[in-house]
Amino acid sequence: MYRLGWLFAEFFASIGIPLLIKVNVLYDSEVNVYVATSSDLKGLIVEAETLDELEREVKRLIPEILELNKPNLVKIKSTYCAFHQAPFAV
């Protein structure tokens, strides 16, 4: 797998190498929400009350954001999303 944010990602995707979108998840304890952002996919910022809700919303938005940022990649079916959550104190 090759990260979407790395150089030549579109080329590797065009020859069939699956792409990975890294999504960073943070928990904002002041407002009790999870926040997802991605340096691989500019414009991805999502808030949700649960991790399941957050994951569903992120996966729903990825094709739309790809369409705006990288229209050549929308047709490629082998794009995966990996969620990374930093540890937080309760």
Distant-in-sequence, close-in-space partners of 55: CB < 8 Å, separation ≥ 6: 83
Domain ranges of the chain: 2-85
Q: What is the pLDDT of residue 75?
A: 62
pLDDT tens digit string along 47-87?
999 999 999 999 999 888 888 877 677 666 667 788 888 76
Q: What is the pTM of this model?
A: 0.80
- Torsion angle of the four alpha carbons 23, 25, 42, 69, in this order, in degrees rounded to the nearest 10: 50
Domain 2-85 top-level CATH class? alpha beta
What is the arithmetic mean of pLDDT over 1-10?
86
